[in-house]
A and B are shown apart, each in its own frame.
Chain A
Amino acid sequence: MTSRVGVVQFPGTNCELDVIQVVEQLGGTAEILFHLESALGGVDAVVVPGGFAHGDYLRTGAIARFSPVMDAVARHAAEGGPVVGICNGFQVLCEAGLLPGALQKNAGLKFLCEDAVLRVETTDSALTNMATVGQHLNIPINHFEGNYVCDPNVLARLRAEDQVVLRYVDNPNGSLDNIAGICNAGRNVVGLMPHPERASDALLGSEDGLVLMQSILAACGQVMSMPR
């Protein structure tokens, strides 16, 4: 069975085709889930990709969480299905309450578009099951609101329960505890600010995102082999 990945598309989403390209490159199949859909059509995993959903009006992700498709995504998550939010998708998952905390403006007050080195902190998640703890990944970031923040109790729980999935080696945005990505208690919902789909080919400068994209496919129940 080929892994089927649903890629959510809100008005303003702009990374959905990149995600689809990489999923297909790795041997999975991918399809767009338009934000007005009320069902996921039987996909195995959901990716909420980057962009500016609903123009980021009010706050990043604030309006997107009320799109009909998000109810179906929440049900999929509650049933243990893999859900990964990338960049704006991470912001949407936080606003939707599927992940704790929020993303505030970068500490340097600048939009950041650059490579970042990430350290894999756990392999027990839908995003990192094919990676190695301590592995360094060179993956680009592209955001203004990527500075993760949560209250001290939530941070203590994230640490105690090994829910910090990825940390920045050199914190670019002031993110609390160098957090680049976290997962929920069930470990099936993961959000990260960096863009693994943009580090999927040597031509793009890095292939380090492939192991994360492969992990999503592996979380569908099928372990994909590394290309080459």
Chain B
Amino acid sequence: MMFSVTVQVTHLPGILDPVGATVERALPALGYTNVSQVHVGKTIRLMIDAENVEAARAQCEEMCQRLLANPVIEAFDISIDDVVPA
């Protein structure tokens, strides 16, 4: 089965997010003074051919641990939709 996967990679709490901080400082200049806690992360979309959703998720977890995220400084969240039966 082909699965469509979206991985959200975000900074762990306490890890600096200069892009988020800069956006947060810029928004008040446009009049949006009620915004706080802006965080900017990464979205990674991919297709994966796996036997079932469990296998797809397990492989995505492994890929996140090994490459897509650095668990020392980043958290990740995996969401999976099945697309086409192969």
Q: Which residues of A contact B (CB under 8 A)?
A: 58-59, 62, 66, 94-95, 101-102, 104-107, 109, 147, 149-151, 174
Closest chain A CB from B20 CB (angstroms) = 10
Query: Which residue in A58, A107, A149 is a CB contact (below 8 Å) of B73?
Result: A149
Give the A-B pair count, Cβ closer than 8 A.
32
Chain B residues with a Cβ under 8 A of chain A: 15-18, 21-22, 67-68, 70, 72-74
Choose from B16, B21, B22, B68 the contact partner of A104 (Cβ within 8 Å): B16
Interface pair A105/B18, CB less than 8 Å apart: yes
Taken together as a complex, chains A and B put the C-alpha atoms of A66 and B68 apart, in Å, by: 13
9 nearest A-B pairs in the assembled complex, by CB-CB distance: A102-B72, A109-B18, A105-B16, A102-B73, A105-B18, A104-B73, A104-B15, A104-B16, A102-B70
A137 to B36, CA, bound (A): 41
CB distance from A90 to the nearest CB of B (A): 14
B66 → chain A, closest Cβ, in Å?
9
Given the complex, which residues of B lie within 8 Å of A104, measured CB to CB? 15-16, 73
Shortest distance from the beta carbon of A225 to any chain B beta carbon, whole Å: 40
